[in-house]
Amino acid sequence: MKNKKNYLLLVLLSIIIQYSCDKSDSISKDYETFAEFHTSKKYNINKFTDKKYMMPPIDMEIIDDKYLITENGQGVSKPMILIYDLESKIFYKGFGKEGKGPNEFINIRGIFVNNNNLWVYDKTQTKFKIYRIDDILYKSKPEPKLIKKLNMNEGWIWKLNIIKNKIVTTGAFIDYRLVFYNFDLEPIKKIGEFPENTSEKNKFIHFQTTNIVKNPKKELFSFANLHNDMFEIYNYNGELLKTICGPDIFKFSWLTGRQFKNTIFTYSRLGATSNHIYAVYSGLKMNNKKDWLSVRGKNIFVFDWDGKPVKKIVTDFHILSIIASEKRKELYMIYFDGEYFRIGYIDISDIEGK
| 354 residues of the chain, pLDDT tens digit each | 545 555 544 444 443 334 333 333 445 456 787 878 889 999 999 999 988 888 888 899 999 999 999 998 665 557 999 999 999 999 999 999 999 999 999 999 999 999 999 999 999 999 999 999 999 999 999 999 999 998 888 888 889 999 999 999 998 887 788 999 999 999 999 998 777 767 776 777 667 899 999 999 999 999 998 888 888 999 999 999 999 888 876 566 555 555 555 678 899 999 999 999 999 999 888 777 677 888 899 999 999 999 999 999 999 999 999 999 999 999 999 999 999 999 999 999 999 987
Q: In the Cβ-directed half-sphere of 83, how many Cα atoms lie within 13 Å?
A: 20
Q: Which residues of 147-175 are buried (b: 16+ CB within 10 A; e: fewer)?
A: ebebeeebeebbbbbbbeeebbbbbebee
The SS3 assignment for 22 reads: helix
The counts of H helices and E strands in the chain are 5, 28
The residue type of 323 is I
Put simply, whether the predicted model's pTM sits higher than 0.85 gets the answer yes
Contact partners, residue 306, CB within 8 Å, separation at least 6: 233, 242
Contact 234, 220 (CB under 8 A): yes
* Whole-number Cα distances in Å, 75 to 23, 34, 125: 46, 41, 16
Strands 117-122 and 40-42: unpaired
